Chains A and B, each alone.
Chain A
Amino acid sequence: MLNELVQIAQSLPQAQGQLARAHYRLAIINKERADDAAYEHHKELALQIRAALRPEDKQADPAFEEALFQELCLWLLW
Chain B
Amino acid sequence: MYCEAVIRMLTWAFPEHYSKDQGHQFASWDRCERCVKHALRVSTVIHTHHVSMDQDGPYGDLLLRCSWYLYERETYGPARQLVQRAISAFRDMTSKEYLNAVDLLGLIDMDLNQPRAALSAIEKVLEVRRSISPPDDPFTAYSLNALGLAYTELPDLDKAYRAHQEAMSIRERIGSDRVGNSYSNMASLLLRMGKPDEAEDMLKRSAYLTDLSDEPFLASGNPRHSGDMVLLSRIRLQQGTIDDALRLATAALKFRQERLGKRLKTCDSMYDVARILHMQGGAAEAM
Contacts and interface: CB of A to CB of B under 8 A. Distances in A.
B264 A1 contact: no
Contact of A14 (B112, B230, B270, B285): B112
A13 B77 contact: yes
Contacts, number: 91
Main secondary structure of the interface of B (DSSP, over half): helix
Contact of A25 (B188, B234, B271): B271
Contacts of B271: 2, 5, 18, 21-22, 25, 73
B34 interface: no
For chain A, which range describes its interface: under 10, 10 to 19, 20 to 34, or 35 or more residues?
20 to 34
Interface string B252-287: 000000000011111110110111011000010111
Interface string A7-43: 0110111110110011001101100110000000000
**Centre residue among B111, B267, B277, B285 by max chain A CB count within 10 A:** B267
Contacts of B274: 1-2, 5, 22, 25
B57 interface: no
B267 A18 contact: yes
B268 A18 contact: yes
B267 A1 contact: no
B245 to A, nearest CB: 15
A6 to B, nearest CB: 9
Given A1-B273, A4-B270, 20 more contacts: A2-B274, A2-B287, A8-B266, A11-B262, A12-B267, A14-B111, A14-B112, A18-B264, A18-B271, A21-B271, A22-B267, A25-B271, A73-B268, A74-B111, A74-B113, A76-B231, A77-B265, A78-B184, A78-B224, A78-B227
